[in-house]
Amino acid sequence: MMSDIVAIYGSPRRKGNSSTLLKRAVAGARGAGVNVDEIVLRDYKISPCLEIYGCKKEGECAIKDDFQVIRDRILAARGLMIASPIFFYTVSAHVKILMDRFQSLWVKKYWIDQTPFNAWTPTRKGFVISVGATRGKKLFDGMMLTMKYFFDVLDMELWDSLLCRQLDFEGDVETHPEYLEAAYQRGRDFAAAVREG
Ligand SMILES: Cc1cc2nc3c(=O)[nH]c(=O)nc-3n(C[C@H](O)[C@H](O)[C@H](O)COP(=O)(O)O)c2cc1C
């Protein structure tokens, strides 16, 4: 299925804080009339990158599992909304495992096709949602740096991010209607931005 936007749920908790926010963003995007393809990462079997560099030949990952299905769905879309909790100051393991398998596309882009660094045009847009328990200023810095280079591989520009501190237990976000509202509105605005191209 060709979709306008793919929404990736990166928390192991189906009803966790980042999932709740992403669900609101998906509702906002759908309300704006775009197709959204939802992917709950914990429902897929994806091996970590094994660094065998089978991808050196043609940019195709040698490990055959659910990665290929998810990769094709992401590459078919013009926008990506991705939600991750902060785990040890970066993305969740589910998200990181997916990201590392995209090394096959990095190899294609920079080694096989020899695209010069910083000399490509973004063709897609990305929207990041993240939540963490603490309130530190640098809480999202590591995660955002990781996202930046993940988006680079996908020829994607960061459109915006919704970063919410001091959310820990499942359901905590429900006591913050302002976050839920922001997620809905950002989802709606992201849909408009993706449609405009
Ligand atoms: C393995 C693990 C590591 C975590 N590391 C951090 C951390 O480094 N900083 C922080 O503020 N919260 C940390 N947390 C708390 C989560 O970010 C917080 O509970 C968040 O609300 C979970 O989001 P979710 O409900 O979307 O899964 C950690 C939680 C777990 C389970």
Q: Over the stretch 113-165, which tens digit does the pLDDT of each residue have?
A: 999 988 878 999 999 999 999 999 999 999 999 999 999 999 999 999 999 99
Is the pLDDT confidence value at 1 over 80? no
Looking at residue 105, what is its pLDDT?
Answer: 97
Q: Which atom of ligand 1 is nearest to the CA of 169?
A: 19
CA distance 23 to 17: 10
Angstrom distances, CA of residue 178 to CA of 17, 170, 173, 182: 13, 17, 9, 6
Tell the residue nearest (CA) to atom 25 of ligand 1: 16
Number of neighbours of residue 118 by Cβ within 10 angstroms: 6
Looking at residue 197, what is its pLDDT?
Answer: 82
Give SS3 for 64.
coil
Q: What is the mean pLDDT of the chain?
A: 96
Pocket test for ligand 1, best of 11, 14, 21, 86 (most atoms within 8 A of CB): 86
Give the pLDDT confidence of 68-115 residue by residue, as tens digits.
Answer: 999 999 999 999 999 999 999 999 999 999 999 999 999 999 999 999
Binding-site residues, ligand 1, Cβ < 6 A:
11, 13, 16-19, 85-89, 131-134, 139, 167-168, 170
Looking at residue 119, what is its pLDDT?
Answer: 81
Cα dihedral across residues 60, 65, 69, 70: positive or negative: negative
Tell the residue nearest (CA) to atom 8 of ligand 1: 88
* Mean pLDDT confidence for 8-13: 98
Structure tokens at 59: 């940019």
Structure tokens at 31: 């309300």
**Separation of CA 102 and ligand 1 centre (Å):** 24
Pocket test for ligand 1, best of 134, 168, 169 (most atoms within 8 A of CB): 168
Provide the CA 117 distance to its chain's centre, in angstroms: 22
For residues 149 and 142, is the Cβ–Cβ distance under 8 A?
A: no
| Helical segments of the chain, H only | 17-31, 67-75, 93-101, 103-106, 141-153, 177-196
**What strands, in cross-sheet order, belong to the sheet with 156-164?**
36-40, 5-9, 79-85, 124-131, 156-164
**Separation of CA 25 and ligand 1 centre (Å):** 20
Is the pLDDT confidence value at 15 over 80? yes
Per-residue confidence band for 65, with pLDDT thresholds at 50, 70 and 90: very high
Give SS3 for 120.
coil
**Separation of CA 110 and ligand 1 centre (Å):** 34
Per-residue confidence band for 2, with pLDDT thresholds at 50, 70 and 90: low
Is the pLDDT confidence value at 24 over 90? yes
Is the pLDDT confidence value at 171 over 60? yes
Query: What's the whole-model pTM score?
Result: 0.97
